[in-house]
Structure 1
Amino acid sequence: MKESYSGNSLKSGLKILIQNQPYEILFSEFIKPGKGQAFVRIKLKQLLTGKLFHQTVKATDIFYSADITEINVSYLYNNGLNWIFMCKKNFEHIYVLKKFLFGCEKWLTNTSNCIIMLWNSSPISVYIENFIQLKVIDFNVAVQGDTVNSSSKSVTLETGAKVRVPLFIKKGDYIKIDTRIGKYISRVNK
């Protein structure tokens, strides 16, 4: 039997069903006006699409928990249609469609550790670590002395992703990337 929650017990991180679709609560605020019925403002993420929503619900509304599990995996390879991961616990292979990667595929290497979210035992999203280290394999030549117009250059990383980095970064350097925003953080000494 699914666990149930009233509107006033909704908390950040909780995964619930709304119209038979899984949502994660990102933010909730209980409001008791001077007059009238109490209500809750919530910010939701639709777990199948990644879209964000704001909704107001009554404090007495009932919601049911979504059957969501998270497993730690390592990225193996992709065949163009599916991205294949290996469960660290039982070495089982898990096939994930590209639409459930939500852009993290451009950061994946064969050493990437990820979390796969399963809904009713089917993968619905993949999360990569917030900070990763990748090797620079190519770069656009910056014109020396042209720091007035640009103090950065575009580089290609080992995964094929392109990011802007400071001019001192060279081919073969390792850099730290924030995968949530896709930006350079720092150079890494290896």
Structure 2
Amino acid sequence: MLPGPATTRGGGEPIGSLRYHLPSRSDSLAPRGTDPPIAHAGEPDWNSSMPTKATDVKKGQFIIWEGQLHQILDTEHVKPGKGPAYVQAKMKNVKVGGIKINRLNSDDRLEEVNVDRRSMQFLYDSGGRGDGPFVFMDDETYDQTEIENDVIPKEQSQWLKENTECVVSMFDGKPLSVALPASIELTVTDTAPQAKGATASNQNKEAFVETGARIRVPPFIENGQAVKVNPETGEYLGKA
């Protein structure tokens, strides 16, 4: 169920240069996995963090794990036949981009970091090749932010079309992640005609949509039709 090199983000600061400083606390009180690194002048101070139980951790949250900022990508609560229950958390290291699955004891306490979640509209791919940087506009301030493909990877960016509304998580003016809507409407640009005698219950066929992404659709879908797609799974949801 749970399955590079430094670049720049919105503020122009290399990702590889980010370091994290936790609020000071005695070792006896520090939650598991949150030993604070040495503070450096001018670096982000995660003083907005607060303790949260491992059993309460949810997808999309940002936590401090082993002294660095991580985003929770998925969780699974496990109750084995023997032994205590635990949580398997799929985490992305925001600094280096690595993804790991960590096992958390039910009574573990983690530091959750409060980030600024902004409603933004996708404008265009400034590189023009489908790999960014991607330009978004804040719905409230109208400020534009460039987001690199380490923050919004191909699995997400392949669904972006102009004016798509997203939620961008920011900290200290830097984008950390992009959440796409649960459903996106896209126009089918290339798919084979419906075979004679095919029905909706037949095996789905391949189709390409306006963003260049490839999906599977029912045999009755034709070129030019708008469809709804789940951008997280690539699943066809129905006609738009």
Compute the TM-score of the two structures, normalised by the length of structure 1: 0.77
Q: CA deviation at 1:47?
A: 5.4
Cα distance change, pair 128–4 in 1 and its aligned pair in 2 (3 A): closer
Q: How does 1:22-171 map to 2 (within 5 A)?
A: 22-24=70-72, 26-27=74-75, 41-46=87-92, 48=94, 49=97, 51-57=99-105, 59=107, 63-80=110-127, 81-102=132-153, 103-141=155-193, 143-145=195-197, 151-171=203-223
Name stretches of at least 5 consecutive residues in structure 1 with no aligned partner.
Answer: none
Cα distance change, pair 142–30 in 1 and its aligned pair in 2 (3 A): closer
| AA at the equivalent of 1:20 | Q
Correspondence 1:181 to 2:229 = no
Provide the secondary structure at the position in 2 that maps to 1:104: helix
Correspondence 1:20 to 2:68 = yes
Query: Which structure has greater strand proportion?
Result: 1
Q: Is this contact kept in 2: 1:71–1:116, CA < 8 A?
A: yes
Cα distance change, pair 123–143 in 1 and its aligned pair in 2 (3 A): same
Cα distance change, pair 65–151 in 1 and its aligned pair in 2 (3 A): closer
Q: Is this contact kept in 1: 2:195–2:219, CA < 8 A?
A: no
Q: Is this contact kept in 2: 1:39–1:56, CA < 8 A?
A: no
| AA at the equivalent of 1:186 | G
Q: Is this contact kept in 2: 1:11–1:27, CA < 8 A?
A: no
Q: Is this contact kept in 2: 1:74–1:87, CA < 8 A?
A: yes
CA RMSD after TM alignment: 3.1
Q: CA deviation at 1:10?
A: 5.6
Cα distance change, pair 47–128 in 1 and its aligned pair in 2 (3 A): farther
**CA offsets per residue over residues 33-57 of structure 1, 9 Å max, x none?**
xx9xx99635242252373523234
Farther off after superposition, 112-121 or 42-51: 42-51
**CA offsets per residue over residues 4-40 of structure 1, 9 Å max, x none?**
426x476123532112222338548699xxx9xx996
Q: Is this contact kept in 1: 2:207–2:217, CA < 8 A?
A: yes
| AA at the equivalent of 2:142 | F
Distance 2:233 2:179 in 1: 13
Distance 1:72 1:108 in 2: 15
Q: CA deviation at 1:186?
A: 1.1
Q: CA deviation at 1:135?
A: 0.9
Provide the secondary structure at the position in 1 that maps to 2:116: strand
Farther off after superposition, 76-85 or 117-126: 117-126
Q: Is this contact kept in 2: 1:12–1:26, CA < 8 A?
A: no
Cα distance change, pair 141–47 in 1 and its aligned pair in 2 (3 A): farther
Name stretches of at least 5 consecutive residues in structure 2 with no aligned partner.
Answer: 1-46
Percent of aligned pairs with the same residue? 19
